[in-house]
A and B are shown apart, each in its own frame.
Chain A
Amino acid sequence: MISMADESVRDVVRRVRSTLLEKGPAGSFLLAELDAAILRGTDDLPVGARSGGQPSDTPGNRSPNDAELIEIIYGVFETYLVTLPSIAASLTTHLRERFGVDHCEITLDRSLLGDELQLAGRARIDAIVPLAPDKQAAEALRNIARLLKRTEE
């Protein structure tokens, strides 16, 4: 087993991947998104490209470096564990307050649904998205963002 002190960023990614495999449906989804995000790479424009005239280099996909890999892990957590639950909550709150809707549901192919939902063919939006992170995890995510900012400076 690799000790933490010797761990490279690539080792961290591998460890995150194997932990996600043990985390049920949410973990499987996060793993698929993490893999896809790493394969997509980054698509940043080279410095100077926005200052007018022609880009000094050609923008396009490239493999992520170490810092970008950590940013990708953070991005996957932040998007699907924080933003997505807030999206579901925002939609439900808006439709409830403005139009008196009780809740929202999303239809799914019945092959993807459990026995109890075969008749309905849909699931409540709050059963589809992960729960908002607990206080400790939310704080950890904020601290990851802070540390990543420090590496950029």
Chain B
Amino acid sequence: MSTAPFPKPLLADLVALIDTVLDSINPSAAVYLNRNTVDAAYAGYVFGLVLAAVERIADTNTVQLRSAQAVQQQTSPNVFIIRGSPGPLSSTTQDFGFAFFQYRGVAYEVHLGVQYRGSSGVLHEFDVSILPADAADQCRSSNKAPGPAKACALFECKCYSNNLGIELGREFVGLKTDFTSVPMARLVTNADSDSIALFLKKTNRPKLSVRLAPNNLEMEQEFVFAVADELRNSL
């Protein structure tokens, strides 16, 4: 690690460039930007990639978008609504969007930001999750959160400006211990983390996808192929 002072001429150039970027920020734009909405938007993006993976393995013409207030309707909603904060799968307070697909004749749903009941009895939320459609229907009719063994795949999504701290890796590993029978769990981020990569390398820990963003087509493809493979083995 270098501790030498930053070279002055270079710093002057950087200051001018930074000022150009600052000048471009419109004070009246992005009025609802906050940590929750950033995470929800990133989770929505990951949801789109998970759908791309699902389309690689799903039974032909079975992938559809649906919504909470029209569960059985087979046409996509005009507006796709993402949860800005976690909530129950059964909630119809908003027409939350989700995806439906079949794999080897079994129906599944892909949800954003829904809560599951862990083996401890505590509710936990997952940014993106896949569960059998009959388990989802059961939740809707009983108004209860899906139990610890219901999810088939869990994704935790983190959109950060610099490397993730190790605490986020610890948190997800801790969370996963409340869902030991879930076969597939993945921490997904636009950033990177050497520490978390090492931490998650150990057997039976969640997998890690780093530098996943639209400007990184290679990582997007890698993610889609990896998730499709894992789903083939997990569903």
Contact = CB atoms under 8 A, between A and B. Distances in A.
A84 B2 contact: no
B215 A43 contact: no
A72 B165 CA distance: 14
Interface residues of A, number: 93
Contacts of B122: none
A26 B26 contact: yes
Nearest to A135: B24
Contacts of A40: 162, 165
Interface residues of B, number: 77
Interface of B: 1-8, 10-15, 17-18, 20-38, 40-42, 44-45, 47-48, 51-52, 64-65, 76-85, 93-94, 96-97, 159-166, 190-191, 193-195, 198, 213-215
Interface of A: 4-5, 7-9, 12, 15-16, 19-20, 22-27, 29-30, 32-34, 37, 40, 42-45, 49-50, 59-62, 65-67, 70-73, 75-84, 86-91, 94-95, 98-109, 112-114, 121-123, 125, 127-131, 133-134, 136-137, 140-141, 143-144, 147, 150-151
11 contacts: A26-B26, A32-B35, A45-B194, A45-B195, A60-B166, A91-B47, A104-B44, A107-B82, A114-B31, A121-B93, A147-B17
Given A20-B22, A59-B195, A112-B34, 19 more contacts: A4-B12, A22-B27, A24-B25, A43-B166, A43-B195, A65-B3, A75-B162, A80-B33, A81-B25, A95-B76, A101-B97, A106-B83, A108-B32, A112-B32, A128-B37, A129-B30, A129-B37, A141-B17, A151-B10
